[in-house]
Chain A
């Protein structure tokens, strides 16, 4: 089997797997990073959202071979050491999660949005978040969380 080298949360990782194995399962089962969730397997729910070279990606629909040589960030690698990412801090302040299962994906989508648009419009928030389902219905608090995170970033500066 071929091997693929990628950077995951700042560390170089070598995967000895089928080229078509989705990044999601490589993360969860090969690398033990279970914060990224399986929800649908067809890029419809967003629970598996991670960043590839800073862009939000549904990891269930991206093959390992495609991300070889790229920089992958998962929910486990979003914080800066012990300091939570502003989105995570905002999630705690607002109290966004209910069951929490979709929230890794929500946080990753929101973090990617704010990296591009530090002060997003409602339409930009809608566009960035429409791909992440939440069955508990935390959407209103997600919006509030994004606004709170934007305010935190404005105060402290963007996360490194």
Chain B
């Protein structure tokens, strides 16, 4: 790769039909070979930079640099909306580009964070993102004020025009001067009552390029001289690579060589190398087929003795003894012994992310610099991984942000070994290397959602038939018996359920397994929401309560929970007593600061064939900045969690997963998708909840509860497809 000058435009200009001539710019990775130079991003013609977040060109177009990744959740559009709101600029003037991770790290985390997870881009980051827009607006006003000899307070900034009395000028005219303005004090961000853009439905900026095949993903990057690699790590995680016979594939078309990748002793991080063999060729298909033909011996290690059955047996055994007390309400002296009236065990198995874009990374290591393309939820982490693997300083590494074919909490290339694999191979081969994990490798080597077995017990007060005591004891399995992905993943939706019970205790047991785990869209709540909210129905029905009225009663005094439940009641028309074979079920779960309730309507044939007809969602995320995207995220979350609960579940046998591809890990298909209705029940004020994840967790329990009403079958584990749902 030579450092040739920029010889062509690097923007793909796209007119968005709806919304009026919006122009957005995307950096085209194919163009990169012509622009490999120290600052590929800032060298682009974007006009005068007012701050790191935005630049304004001579025509008044505003280029907004988005530090977060776009993996389908709409961050590209949301970040631009928040800045445009404060800047007071015509939305049709906005262009989006991804911010430069190298600049971010070089300048001491200039964008505060580039991590994109936790439904946080709006929920958590809106203050500093909006601040960047507000600051730019005030600097433009100050520049005009100084030029006109008036106070800044006398200048108005509206839709790209600065005005004071009879004087006026465009943002473009004052952009260069504004960049040099130092404000004595940064302005406050707007309150929701001052919004003119936020809160309105705005179409995503990336729809055009994603409808005509031109959207660029990491897997699409092609560099001059690039080689392709297919890799295979030990099918039993942490097993060791034995011998492999490279000579057996050497004569195959296009094969460049076979390489050993060895784990570094003592390194067990999610993104550290594990023992693997890589076949490099001039085409990925040739590399993959050669790898399939390569004789390889493995030492599977101790993990090979583990199966789903053995793990579940261990879980049951360990549940007999007390765990670490996570929460204990009601006081030990008043504790009325172990509740006995109702007990139930709930189980969720491993699940995988299975992003539609298989895990991949392309890295070019040269003596001068390293360039990285990877589908990661944190470009700055990918940058550091490549720097570490190559043994160079971070200032020499450049990560090029492209679209992600899904994220879902797994962090793709940032949370797996692929970035190190590609860096290592490129370093050895002295040419750019693209590593693609086959779908089979992606499922086998992804960092999985951990399994969990929870024992619930409750007793009921004689008079009210509401619970007087409620205990839970949960065991989950992680790679190193430490809650690496956070205790939240083990406890949320159990330890923090809203229902007031006089005596309540939650205990956790950290089980150890060789399978590496990671966060998975709505971590923790995605499994405990199911368990808790199904057991709630068991407790409510045992006490003779209507499940929805029980939840209303048990959240009395919690205004936001009441608002969501009342909205669900009104919009869903939930009722019990439908004809046999049909049922409605409800559930409510708090996740990432949002409270979300679901009502599912199902039908089950006598033979046990399930159809989920409809899901009604009521959600309180405090504020909604783009109702269109918020509704899309809710629909997507419904599909996500229904997939795992209905037909998902990874099965371990001899230490490895039986599921290898979409034939053995089926996901929800088009014809199985229920109708979804989304209702926002917003409590506003200081509440900012997430929207990318919270609508998933209440769906599986709502469906399972509906199945109970339809058939009398109480489901206490997933996937539903493994249960006999027939009735007579």
Residue of A18, A30, A96, A140 ringed by the most chain B CB atoms within 10 A: A140
Q: Do the beta carbons of A99 and B671 come within 8 Å of each other? A: no
Q: Do the beta carbons of A135 and B640 come within 8 Å of each other? A: yes
- Check if B217 is an interface residue, CB within 8 A of chain A: yes
Q: Do the beta carbons of A133 and B639 come within 8 Å of each other? A: no
A85 to chain B, nearest CB (A): 9
Complexed CA–CA distance, A37 and B354 (Å)? 15
B499 to chain A, nearest CB (A): 29
Which residue of chain B lies nearest to A35 when distances are taken between CB atoms in the complex?
A: B213
When distances are taken between beta carbons in the complex, the residues of chain B under 8 Å from A157 are none
Which residue of chain B lies nearest to A74 when distances are taken between CB atoms in the complex?
A: B213
Contact of A75 among B74, B212, B406, B675 (CB under 8 A): B212
Q: Do the beta carbons of A92 and B439 come within 8 Å of each other? A: no
Which residue of chain A lies nearest to B353 when distances are taken between CB atoms in the complex?
A: A135
When distances are taken between beta carbons in the complex, the residues of chain B under 8 Å from A30 are 283
Counting contact residues on chain A (CB < 8 A from B), the size range is 35 or more
Q: Do the beta carbons of B661 and A97 come within 8 Å of each other? A: no
- Check if A42 is an interface residue, CB within 8 A of chain B: yes
Query: Could you mark each residue 520-533 of chain B with 1 if its beta carbon is under 8 Å from any beta carbon of chain A, else 0?
Result: 00000000000000
When distances are taken between beta carbons in the complex, the residues of chain A under 8 Å from B663 are 42, 44
Q: Do the beta carbons of A38 and B632 come within 8 Å of each other? A: no
Complexed CA–CA distance, A151 and B257 (Å)? 54
Query: Could you mark each residue 615-657 of chain B with 1 if its beta carbon is under 8 Å from any beta carbon of chain A, else 0?
Result: 0000000000000100010011111100000000000000000
Known: A135-B356, A140-B635, A140-B675. A91 touches B439 (CB 8 A): no
Contact of A39 among B212, B215, B286, B358 (CB under 8 A): B358
- Check if A12 is an interface residue, CB within 8 A of chain B: no
- Check if A95 is an interface residue, CB within 8 A of chain B: yes
Q: Do the beta carbons of B212 and A34 come within 8 Å of each other? A: no
Stretch at the interface among B203-211, B267-275, B300-308: B203-211
Which residue of chain B lies nearest to A101 when distances are taken between CB atoms in the complex?
A: B405
Q: Do the beta carbons of B222 and A35 come within 8 Å of each other? A: no
- Chain A contacts with B in 97-144, Cβ cutoff 8 A: 97-104, 107, 125-127, 129-143
Q: Do the beta carbons of A38 and B358 come within 8 Å of each other? A: yes
Complexed CA–CA distance, A76 and B209 (Å)? 11
Q: Do the beta carbons of B406 and A101 come within 8 Å of each other? A: yes
When distances are taken between beta carbons in the complex, the residues of chain A under 8 Å from B578 are none
Q: Do the beta carbons of B213 and A41 come within 8 Å of each other? A: no
A147 to chain B, nearest CB (A): 14
Q: Do the beta carbons of A45 and B356 come within 8 Å of each other? A: yes
Contact of A25 among B283, B358, B438 (CB under 8 A): B283
- Check if B673 is an interface residue, CB within 8 A of chain A: yes
When distances are taken between beta carbons in the complex, the residues of chain B under 8 Å from A126 are 670-671
Q: Do the beta carbons of A129 and B670 come within 8 Å of each other? A: yes
Known: A79-B212, A97-B206. A137 touches B636 (CB 8 A): yes
Q: Do the beta carbons of A98 and B73 come within 8 Å of each other? A: yes
- Chain A contacts with B in 54-87, Cβ cutoff 8 A: 74-76, 78-79, 84
Complexed CA–CA distance, A143 and B197 (Å)? 29
- Chain B contacts with A in 273-301, Cβ cutoff 8 A: 283-286
- A-contacting residues of B (Cβ < 8 Å)? 16-18, 70-74, 203-204, 206-217, 219-220, 222, 228, 253, 283-286, 354-358, 403-408, 436, 438-439, 628, 632, 635-640, 661-663, 667-671, 673, 675-676
21 of the cross-chain contacts (CB-CB < 8 Å) are A25-B283, A25-B284, A25-B285, A28-B220, A34-B220, A36-B213, A37-B356, A40-B439, A41-B438, A42-B661, A47-B356, A95-B203, A95-B207, A98-B632, A99-B356, A100-B210, A100-B403, A101-B357, A104-B213, A139-B673, A140-B675
